[in-house]
Amino acid sequence: MGVVKATTLESLDMGSKSIYRKCLPGGPWQRLLPGIILLHSNEPTQDQRAIAALLYAGADAVITGTEACRRQGLRSRELPQGDGILVLVPHQHKILSSEFVTVERTVRLPKAVFKDGIPLAPLVRATTDAIRRIRKVEPIGQLLIEAIQHGRCAPNALAYELDRGTKRGTAIPRRLLAEWANLRSVAEARAKTLSRRLQFQPSHWNIEVWGRAGNYVGCPDAWWEDVGLAWEIDSVDFHFGRDGYARTLERNTRYAAAGIPVVQTLPSRLIKDPDGVIAELQAAYLTATTRPRPPVYLSPKMP
């Protein structure tokens, strides 16, 4: 990879002064980290930065956080940018962070998984390590959902990992995972995160709606009780075939018969067009305020 320790070069009878002279501006090499040399003067690749971080951190080190998430397939648009490389080392190792490398000592060093020869923390641990360094709700929610949906991390596994490790920086992700515990799909979790941007937020999630004769109408993903508006996150992916699609048609027929306006959203639009989804929901809510609320209830009631 063209990345070596200075001590390795010295073992080949190169003098220390000669090594670092080659790393001066205009020289053929460059110093990436203390004691770590890149054997060319071009911009280092991300692989070279990762190797440099591991060489600097020493034996048993593993990469975690954003870099490990990216290398295990999470989409870059959901990951924080420009946060360097986070490396875990055994607690007894006295190594300081330096430049683009943050070193974290741990008594819970995970067993590494290898991608392209690079040792990484398993995705659940990498995700929680990344999240602990984010302070805003929306990017935390996006990364959690990405890990669950595309990394196939179980929500309970993420919650367990957050509870086992340091509690620093875990309040927001633990709260989000608890809020999502009763949601029926990851798409709904993403919708709940997005709904915080609405001027008029839903009053209920996954609540059963009943008609005036005590007939069951539906269980919308989100519900506005004051105007009787429903929001459904619909996708063939979550219907698992024709039977699911038929149930969706039947549900929509029940909504129409009860006079309930419903906004239907594909999960992909929550990612690709969140502003459009917000605009549709706000317009639907304002339209619903101009007409009588449909005679429906959140529990069976007879007239």
For residue 17, being part of any structural domain is answered with no
176 and 66: one domain? yes
129 and 241: one domain? no
User: Of 181, 216, 241, which residue is a domain's last?
Assistant: 181
Residues 6+ away with beta carbon under 8 Å from 157: 124
60 and 156: one domain? yes
For residue 274, being part of any structural domain is answered with yes
User: Of 132, 149, 181, which residue is a domain's last?
Assistant: 181
Neighbours of 104 (CB within 10 A): 17
- What is the reported pLDDT for 29? 94
For residue 5, being part of any structural domain is answered with no
164 and 253: one domain? no
The rounded distance, in Å, linking the Cα atoms of 17 and 104 is 31
138 and 199: one domain? no
Q: Token pair 């929680």 is at which residue?
A: 128
CA-nearest of 103, 174, 69 to 132 is: 174
For residue 11, being part of any structural domain is answered with no
Length of the chain: 303
C-beta separation of 109 from 62 below 8 A = yes
Angle, CA 293 vertex, CA 291 and CA 297 arms, to 5°:
165
Q: Token pair 């991390």 is at which residue?
A: 153
177 and 200: one domain? no
- What is the reported pLDDT for 75? 83
Which residues span the domain enclosing 144?
45-181
203 and 108: one domain? no
Beta strand 3-5 with 36-38 is antiparallel
60 and 159: one domain? yes
129 and 67: one domain? yes
Token reading at 171:
């309040």
200 and 171: one domain? no
- What is the reported pLDDT for 183? 62
pTM, two decimals, is 0.66
For residue 170, being part of any structural domain is answered with yes
User: Of 150, 181, 212, which residue is a domain's last?
Assistant: 181
For residue 36, being part of any structural domain is answered with no
For residue 71, being part of any structural domain is answered with yes
C-beta separation of 260 from 231 below 8 A = no
**Count of domains forming the chain:** 2
For residue 286, being part of any structural domain is answered with yes
- Element (DSSP H or E) covering residue 292: none
The rounded distance, in Å, linking the Cα atoms of 303 and 287 is 26
50 and 176: one domain? yes
C-beta separation of 48 from 117 below 8 A = no
Please state, in angstroms and as integers, the Cα–Cα distance from residue 8 to each residue in 4, 13, 134, 158, following that order: 7, 9, 37, 40
C-beta separation of 71 from 120 below 8 A = yes
169 and 208: one domain? no
Token reading at 23:
């790393």
Measured in whole angstroms, the distance separating CA 106 from the mean position of its chain's CA atoms is 23
DSSP string, 79-106: SPSS--EEEEEETT-----BTTEEEEEE
Q: Write the DSSP symbol of residue 273.
A: -
pLDDT along the chain (303 residues), means of 10: 89 89 91 93 93 94 96 84 89 93 95 95 96 90 86 89 88 87 73 92 93 91 96 61 64 94 90 93 97 89 42
